Amino acid sequence: MKNLYTFSEIKQQPALWHSIFELVKERKVEIRKFLQDYMTSHKSEVVFTGAGSSFFIGEMVSGPFQLSTKISSKAVSSTELVTHPELYINPQKDTLLVSFARSGDSPESVSAIVNAQQVSTKISNLIICCNKDGKLMKMKFGNSYRILLPEEANDKGLAMTSSVSSMVLTALLIARINEIEQLQQQIDLLALYANRVIQNAEAIFKDAVSCDFDRAVFLGSGAYQGLAREAHLKLQELTNGKLICKFDSFLGFRHGPKAIVNGKTFMVYFFSNDKYVRQYELDVVNSMNEKTSPVYSLGVSEDKINTDGLNQLITFSKDGETLDESFLMLAELVVAQLFGFYKSVNEGFNPDNPSINGAIHRVVQGVKIYNLPKANFEYSTTSKV
């Protein structure tokens, strides 16, 4: 197991997070200047973009970013910006387009920026990438600022692990760039939380991965819904689609999607450490056994919670330690990655390259990019409504 890229790339994350914290802190003046030059809270917008896991990063950070900066923020996949940029880019607003990419070579990554700039002349680009040789790091896009993450973040395994958490952390730190020096203790505690799980991972996940199930559901509230979405993809791709996975918010799951639960369903709950939010989350957990019960229920929480609806609860905190909710999300992400890794091994797959038939690749292949017709967005620049 020591020779597998994926496990090493999961295990290295706590140390890598310290490096990223130092990187962003060292660039504090540059980052502040870039944001101040191109963003003003009353008339600006931030759009986080990427494809696959890189898009899910945007879903994880857009809410916390808006909360910290007071600038309207949203996540839009680069695949949507390729086909329908006029639906998501407002030409009347100063827009910071934040592009996340592991390789920076995905055809949609470049096309999303090009198309956004055709829709609006008020685009500035913040590019966060893990590959120094990627196209996103080399091409010129007008007003741009690039952050190249440490080489370790450029995962060699198929599944994005270190790259995801590194880009999430980078965005969270940028959102709080004015107070970054005060976040050192939070990063230290985050790393401690993750290491507690990593060091005992095999024992922690022994029962969960040996469980017989053919579908899994991941739930999270607020920004944690983006975490749930990333978690569902990790397990599904690391088992080559053998396990069909779904995701939702806790409250949203009640409105129809709950029908998926049967005796072969594995439930994963990513709990918030916000006591108000957790009330709703626990109500959902406690309701799951009323009719058709899942075969196994796994909870992930900062501390112990009172419920009989779980087969297993993974916790991080000891002696009342408390982590900011947005940073706690990264510790819970590590749990999702480890679960996917150990289940992949349990099912006989190679976690570094589980796609036996070559259906998925480390960098997406076979995408043809077409020129954007001017008629698709011309109206959006002239409307006075």
Strands across the sheet with 123-129, in order? 72-75, 44-49, 94-101, 123-129, 144-148
Q: Does the pLDDT at position 235 exceed 70?
A: yes
Instruction: Over range 66-79, report the average pLDDT.
Output: 96
Q: Does the pLDDT at position 203 exceed 80?
A: yes
- Under 8 Å CB-to-CB from 99, ≥6 apart: which residues? 49, 50, 78, 109, 112, 113, 125, 126, 127, 128, 129, 136
| Phi, psi dihedral angles at 267 (to 5 degrees) | -105, 135
Full-prediction pTM beyond 0.85?
yes
- How many other C-beta atoms lie within 10 A of the C-beta of residue 280? 14
248 shares a domain with 115: no
- Residues 62-99 as b/e (b if ≥16 CB within 10 A, e otherwise) read bbbbbebbebbbbbbbbbbbbebbbebbebeebbbbbb
194 shares a domain with 331: yes
221 shares a domain with 97: no
Q: Which residue has the tokens 């990419």?
A: 101
- Per-residue pLDDT band at 305 (split at 50, 70, 90): very high
287 shares a domain with 214: yes
> From the DSSP assignment, how many helices (H) and strands (E) are in the chain?
15, 10
Alpha-carbon dihedral 142, 146, 151, 153, rounded to 10 degrees: -110
CA proximity to 351, closest of 39, 1, 18 = 1
CB 278 within 8 A of CB 271: yes
| Phi, psi dihedral angles at 124 (to 5 degrees) | -120, 150
Any idea which of 1-15, 209-223, 237-251 has the lowest mean pLDDT?
A: 1-15
In this predicted model, what pLDDT tens digit does every residue of 42-56 receive, in sequence order? 689 999 999 999 999
Average pLDDT of the chain is 92
161 shares a domain with 213: no
Q: Does the pLDDT at position 358 exceed 90?
A: no
380 belongs to a structural domain: no
The C-alpha atoms of residue 296 and residue 318 are separated, in whole angstroms, by 26
Q: Does the pLDDT at position 141 exceed 70?
A: yes
The C-alpha atoms of residue 310 and residue 82 are separated, in whole angstroms, by 42
The C-alpha atoms of residue 43 and residue 39 are separated, in whole angstroms, by 8
213 shares a domain with 176: no
DSSP annotation of 183: G
354 belongs to a structural domain: no
Exposed (0-12), middle (13-18) or buried (19+): which is 114, by Cβ within 10 Å?
A: middle
DSSP string, 202-215: HHHTHHHHHS--SE
- Per-residue pLDDT band at 371 (split at 50, 70, 90): confident
- Under 8 Å CB-to-CB from 94, ≥6 apart: which residues? 38, 39, 40, 43, 44, 45, 122, 124
244 shares a domain with 332: yes
**Residue 331's CATH number:** 3.40.50.10490
CB 231 within 8 A of CB 333: yes
Number of folded domains that form the chain: 2
Q: Which residue has the tokens 């229920």?
A: 297
Give the domain extent around 36.
5-181+363-369
50 belongs to a structural domain: yes
CA distances from 280 to 250, 270, 286 (A): 7, 12, 10
339 shares a domain with 230: yes
CA angle 359, 360, 365 (to 5 degrees): 100
Residue 3, both tokens: 């020779």
CA angle 64, 65, 69 (to 5 degrees): 120
382 belongs to a structural domain: no
CA distances from 288 to 6, 41, 91, 307, 311 (A): 33, 42, 46, 12, 12
Q: Does the pLDDT at position 383 exceed 70?
A: no
